[in-house]
Each structure stands twice: as structure tokens, then as C-alpha cells.
């Protein structure tokens, strides 16, 4: 399946035509040549990152994330220099928009600036927008602020929490894997008691009665918020999901479906 042009919009072609194949193959080679230096640098930093000792991991992360952003900017430069509608859209969708070093808000903004309304509002354009919106939050990105209610209907904003570390646990009282990780959350709470760690559980389903029963049963002695209106839906796709933030609300750790205790302990510092 491929893209083809029709009235400045993209349509799917069930069988790739020779023209589309030639354009795709030529364009991809041209694109790879254009970004070669940035791509090679990123790969070198990836290997360094994998072999870096714990004492230097923070600087390694910074270098790697900046290299990801340079590669993204180089890709945008290629599109501006080669504004062929078919290939520019194809390479943006296939490669550039998926760069984990750039936040979804910036990518959506660039998508809007680079392509015409007819392309962006085509079937493929809408699909590309969804791909961008589904991008996971990246490490070292700043978490978005949100305002949720607690079990007493009192509003709490993420940015009003000023602890040194904040662990956000997205869960539901009828989610088996969520229940299984509660003992690990309790272990973290006890281990870092008095060291600035705040745990906040955010329930995305379950009625308040069921929540209160689960909280009492499993001794979840920390802050509890509810997100019944899907305020965090753009960022949390499955439960359980865990985010560890620093006092600047930067994401230090993210996982879904399981919690890596060793990694969290390392990020907080023992």
C-alpha cells in the first residue's frame, strides 16, 4: 500500500505504481543522505548511553536527547528544501513525527505549518495527527499540568504539588495488574519517607465507593485523585501507568503495565 496524489490530497494506492515506488526509493535515499551526520551521531550516543556508568547517566541522557532534537530539526529542514507533497508527507509520517525527543505539541505545530489544509484534513492527514497525539511522553519532557478532583470533590492541580519527587500512578480498582503493583508503591513510600517523595494515585475508572473500599483494603495511604472525564487521556493509554517527576515536573521515569523498582530507586537516589 502506498500514497498517491490527487488534487493536492493523498489517497491510498492498493498496488504501488512504478512512479510511486521510484519516488519513494529515490526520496528515501536522498533523505538518508541528508540526515546522515545527525543519524550517525545519534547512533554513536545510543551506544555510549547503553555503556555509561551510573555516575554519568544524566549527562549521557542530555546529550542523547539533544541529538534526537537535532535529527528532528534536520528532517524538517529537508522537507522545507524538498517540498514535494507526496514524499514530504510520507517521510514526515514514516520517520520524522515519531522522533521520541520532541514533544507532541511541537510536532503537531510543525505538521500544521508544513502541510496544506487539504493534506492535513485528508484521511491520511487525520491518521498522521492521531499518530502524533499517541506519542508517549518522553523522558525529560515537562509533564502537562492538569486539575483533577479528589474523593471529596476538591480540585488539585499537578503544578500545585511542590515535592522533590512526585510519583503518579494511574490505576483502577478493578484492574488486576494495578492491584498487584500496590505493594511496590507501599515499599517506595516507606523507603523514601521523609526524603521528598509524594505518591499520587489517579483512578481512571471505578465508582467512588469501589475506590474507597480498595484504598482502605490495600492500605493506600497517599493522595488519591479521579479522572472520570479523561483529562489525561492524551498521555495515558493503558493502566497501570507510572510517571516519576522531579520538582520541575520533568519526567524522570515512565512505564506502563509494570513498575521497575530498581530504576525508580536509582532515579530518586538511595
pLDDT value of position 52:
53
Do residues 257 and 221 share a domain?
yes
Q: Please tell me the least confidently modeled range out of 6-20, 78-92, 106-120, 246-260.
A: 6-20
pLDDT value of position 167:
96
Do residues 42 and 156 share a domain?
no
In a domain? residue 123: yes
* pLDDT interval class at 77 (50, 70, 90): very high
More reliable by pLDDT, 234 or 152: 152
Number of domains in the chain: 2
* Residue 129 in grid coordinates: 495527527
Do residues 97 and 219 share a domain?
no
In a domain? residue 140: no
For residue 79, pLDDT over 50 is answered with: yes
In a domain? residue 141: no
Residue at which a domain ends, from 77, 108, 133: 133
For residue 191, pLDDT over 90 is answered with: yes
pLDDT value of position 141:
74
pTM, two decimal places: 0.54
Do residues 42 and 93 share a domain?
yes
More reliable by pLDDT, 6 or 120: 120
Do residues 78 and 186 share a domain?
no
Looking at residue 233, which CATH number applies to its domain? 3.40.30.10
Do residues 174 and 216 share a domain?
yes
Q: Which domain holds residue 235?
A: 147-268
In a domain? residue 138: no
pLDDT tens digits, 212-266:
999 999 999 999 999 877 667 666 767 888 999 999 998 898 887 678 888 899 8
Nearest to 100 by CA among 148, 65, 127: 65
In a domain? residue 173: yes
In a domain? residue 139: no
Do residues 198 and 253 share a domain?
yes
Do residues 101 and 152 share a domain?
no
In a domain? residue 97: yes
In a domain? residue 237: yes
Amino acid at each position: 500500500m502506498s500514497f498517491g496524489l490527487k488534487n493536492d490530497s493523498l489517497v491510498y494506492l492498493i498496488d504501488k505504481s512504478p512512479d510511486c515506488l521510484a519516488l519513494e526509493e529515490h526520496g528515501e535515499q536522498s533523505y538518508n543522505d541528508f540526515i546522515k551526520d545527525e543519524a550517525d551521531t545519534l547512533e554513536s550516543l545510543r551506544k555510549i548511553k547503553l555503556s555509561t556508568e551510573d555516575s554519568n547517566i544524566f549527562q549521557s541522557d542530555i546529550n542523547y536527547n539533544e541529538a534526537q532534537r537535532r535529527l528532528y530539526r534536520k528532517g524538517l529542514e529537508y522537507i522545507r528544501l524538498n517540498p514535494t507533497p507526496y514524499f514530504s508527507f510520507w517521510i514526515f509520517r514514516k520517520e520524522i513525527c515519531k522522533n521520541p525527543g520532541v514533544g507532541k505539541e511541537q510536532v503537531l505545530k510543525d505538521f500544521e505549518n508544513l502541510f496544506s489544509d487539504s493534506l492535513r484534513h485528508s484521511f491520511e492527514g487525520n491518521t498522521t495527527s492521531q499518530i502524533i497525539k499517541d506519542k508517549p511522553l518522553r523522558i525529560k519532557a515537562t509533564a502537562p499540568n492538569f486539575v483533577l478532583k479528589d474523593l471529596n470533590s476538591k480540585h488539585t492541580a499537578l503544578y500545585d504539588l511542590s515535592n522533590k519527587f512526585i510519583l503518579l500512578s494511574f490505576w483502577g480498582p478493578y484492574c488486576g495488574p494495578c492491584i498487584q503493583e500496590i505493594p511496590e508503591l507501599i515499599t517506595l513510600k516507606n523507603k523514601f519517607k521523609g526524603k521528598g517523595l509524594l505518591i499520587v494515585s489517579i483512578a481512571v475508572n471505578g465508582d467512588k465507593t469501589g475506590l474507597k473500599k480498595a484504598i482502605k483494603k490495600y492500605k493506600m495511604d497517599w493522595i488519591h485523585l479521579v479522572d472520570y472525564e479523561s483529562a489525561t487521556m492524551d498521555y495515558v493509554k493503558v493502566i497501570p501507568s507510572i510517571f516519576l517527576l522531579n520538582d520541575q515536573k520533568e519526567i524522570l521515569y515512565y512505564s506502563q503495565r509494570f513498575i521497575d523498582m530498581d530504576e525508580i530507586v536509582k532515579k530518586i537516589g538511595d
